[in-house]
Structure 1
Amino acid sequence: MLILALDTAQADCAACLFDTTNDVVLARTVETIGKGHAERLMAVIDETLRQAGRAPSGFDRIAVNVGPGSFTGVRVGVSTARALALATRTECVGVSSLSSLGFQARELAKGRAVMATIDARRGEAYAQVFGGADGEALTEPSAYAYEALDGLMRRHDALAFGTGASVAGLEVAGDVTHIEIETIARIGAVARPQGPVSPLYLRAPDARPQAGFAVARR
């Protein structure tokens, strides 16, 4: 199966084409732009498919980062993924930023539970705890005050990873702060489609969304 993975939830505007049969990335394009994902995403997708020598519909599934992250960035990614899925009659699955960080941290955790965090600013962090052995979610993704992260970590005897824990002054167990586009593809390859993909928002937006990228909230 060929997975087209998309990520616009943070600074990167990224896409990759992943071959699950041979466990190999056929092509990837990553632009670290901070803003302006709406203007660049389709060009990034086109370049990725061009590198892989595939047609515009040359994939079997789309996997997209649904957040939490930049409010506008997440909306751009989800809207584009949904439009592509409709146009190419391809199934689409959502992958969260926190599950992606948790996936990347498991190797460093060596069997311990993992608390994945992302700095949400305004005194808060997004966080979720995952089992170290199988990666099963032990908590729901939520926004926490910085001072609440230590208690969450201790309740689950977890190791802390990510920018939220670092900003909150907790000891982090490894440098796992950047989501690799391949991670979105690998998680998306085994995810079960559950209807239309929607952004994962854990608090109200800091800014108004860009016009033309309206997606219904959960």
Structure 2
Amino acid sequence: MAIDTSTAACSAALFDSDGRCIAQRDEVIGRGHSERLVPMLDEMLEGRRADRILVGVGPGSFTGIRVGIAAAQGLAIAWNCELAGMSSLALIAAGVEGADHIGVAVDGGHGELFVQQFDGATLKPEAQLFNLPPEEASAVINAEAVAGTAAAKLVNPRGHGRALEAWPSASFALRLPESLRSLAPKPLYARAPDARPKVAA
């Protein structure tokens, strides 16, 4: 099972032993993940259990991420199953088709964006994760296709590219490379002082 609550969307998916998605829920709810997530999971599971849980660890909404991780941890204990984290930005990239390179941008708060670029075929990161103002973010992401809740905020300052408004869908979880779905199940931060690109001398 996979869960992501890192954005305004509340998303969950259940997979069979062959990795096929057999049930999913995707709802853009804004706020209220803590009230909606558990009922959504009950509706989707219909009494079934999972032997592994993947949970989106962000970056994104700090409150939303914590809700998803707390629910996943509770279920992992109840079901005595494996729990791992997955990149919420890569999950957005996984929903984009037909692009060689995919930029992802979501709101990071304080007028900044969380951004990262991925290879369109493998979904492996092509650059590190940044937390930057839109103008600076537009300079470090060169992919023509940019997806995410803040895609337009990145594309507009640079004057070219395709902005695709998108939210993470847990149904794409198994498309991620193993390295991006075997993260520690704790919030992923992208702090501006640690993630800014070096300025040339």
Q: Same fold (TM over 0.5)?
A: yes
Structure 1 equivalent of residue 150 of structure 2: 164
1:149 to partner: Cα distance: 2.2
**Matched-pair contact (CA < 8 Å) for 1:6–1:63:** yes
**Matched-pair contact (CA < 8 Å) for 1:117–1:160:** no
* Structure 2, unaligned runs of 5 or more: 193-201
1:44 to partner: Cα distance: 1.1
CA distance in 1, matches of 2:181, 2:25: 25
Q: How many residues align?
A: 188
Match of 2:98 among 88, 108, 123: 108
1:6 to partner: Cα distance: 1.0
1:167 to partner: Cα distance: 1.4
**Matched-pair contact (CA < 8 Å) for 1:114–1:161:** yes
Q: C-alpha deviations, 1:26-46, integer Å up to 9, x for none?
A: 222333321121122211111
CA distance in 2, matches of 1:166, 1:72: 24
Give the letter aligned to residue 159 of structure 1.
Answer: E
Structure 2 equivalent of residue 69 of structure 1: 60
| Residue 182, structure 1, aligned to residue 171, structure 2 | yes
Aligned pair in 2 of structure 1 residues 192, 102: CA closer, same or farther (>3 Å)? closer
Aligned pair in 2 of structure 1 residues 189, 135: CA closer, same or farther (>3 Å)? closer
Structure 1 equivalent of residue 34 of structure 2: 38
Query: Structure 2 length as normaliser, TM-score?
Result: 0.80
Aligned pair in 2 of structure 1 residues 8, 174: CA closer, same or farther (>3 Å)? same
Structure 2 equivalent of residue 60 of structure 1: 51
**Matched-pair contact (CA < 8 Å) for 1:95–1:188:** no
Aligned pair in 2 of structure 1 residues 92, 186: CA closer, same or farther (>3 Å)? farther
Structure 1 equivalent of residue 24 of structure 2: 28
CA distance in 1, matches of 2:186, 2:125: 19
CA distance in 1, matches of 2:85, 2:150: 22
**Matched-pair contact (CA < 8 Å) for 2:10–2:33:** yes
CA distance in 2, matches of 1:193, 1:116: 20
Identity, in percent, stands at 35
Aligned pair in 2 of structure 1 residues 189, 134: CA closer, same or farther (>3 Å)? closer
1:176 to partner: Cα distance: 4.8
CA distance in 1, matches of 2:153, 2:163: 14
1:20 to partner: Cα distance: 5.0
Structure 2 equivalent of residue 81 of structure 1: 72
**Matched-pair contact (CA < 8 Å) for 2:92–2:166:** yes
CA distance in 1, matches of 2:14, 2:188: 23
Give the letter aligned to residue 184 of structure 1.
Answer: A
Q: C-alpha deviations, 1:67-120, integer Å up to 9, x for none?
A: 111111100101111121122111112112211122223x221x3x22211132
Query: Structure 1 length as normaliser, TM-score?
Result: 0.75
CA distance in 2, matches of 1:179, 1:33: 13
Aligned pair in 2 of structure 1 residues 131, 12: CA closer, same or farther (>3 Å)? closer
